[in-house]
Amino acid sequence: MYKRLGIYRAQDINEEWIAKQLRIYIKHIDRPSHFARDGRFKAILLDSRVDRKQRRMEFMHELGHLLRSADGFNYLAPELRNYLEWDARHFEFYAAMPYPMMRQYDLNDCDIINTLSDDFVVPHHYVEDKLTFIKQKQQQYARVTF
């Protein structure tokens, strides 16, 4: 998605611009974030009460629903709704801080958590989880290749 939109750096990730390119309406509301779709109309309604970094995560989650989920979410069996929630969280995990963009950083830098959190506009706990995930994948790869 990012390559198609011409986004290659953390600083280029902008919810409003991404939504505009994908023809998605964004509105800030005083309720929990959610998405809406009616025919070709698509909207992401973001909770204005949360901080900017949490709002970025919620945008990515709701974008995942819009791009990857079926219509009629509320009418689906609970098992399928659970799968679609998992899928949106999975999309959020990768879209909020894509690994190809992270390669520009020294992941061993002592201040990397703050740097990534600020540059990608995501919460510290998310950066910690993502770095742990990357290290685990690197260890798994090292075991397989040697």
Per residue in 68-100, pLDDT (tens digit) is 776 666 667 778 778 888 888 888 999 999 999
Q: Could you tell me the residue range of the domain that residue 119 belongs to?
A: 2-145
Most distant pair of Cα atoms in the chain: their distance:
53
The model's pTM: 0.86
Please, are residues 81 and 111 in contact by the beta-carbon 8 Å criterion? no
Residue 43 class from Cβ within 10 Å (0-12 exposed, 13-18 middle, 19+ buried)? Answer: middle
On the question of pLDDT at 67 being above 70, the answer is: yes
Tokens 């989650």, residue?
61
Both structure tokens of 10: 């953390």
pLDDT confidence band for 145 (50 / 70 / 90): low
Q: Mean pLDDT in the chain? A: 89
Both structure tokens of 99: 């690994």
Which residues face 27 on adjacent strands?
45
Tokens 């005083």, residue?
30
Question: How many structural domains is the chain composed of?
Answer: 1
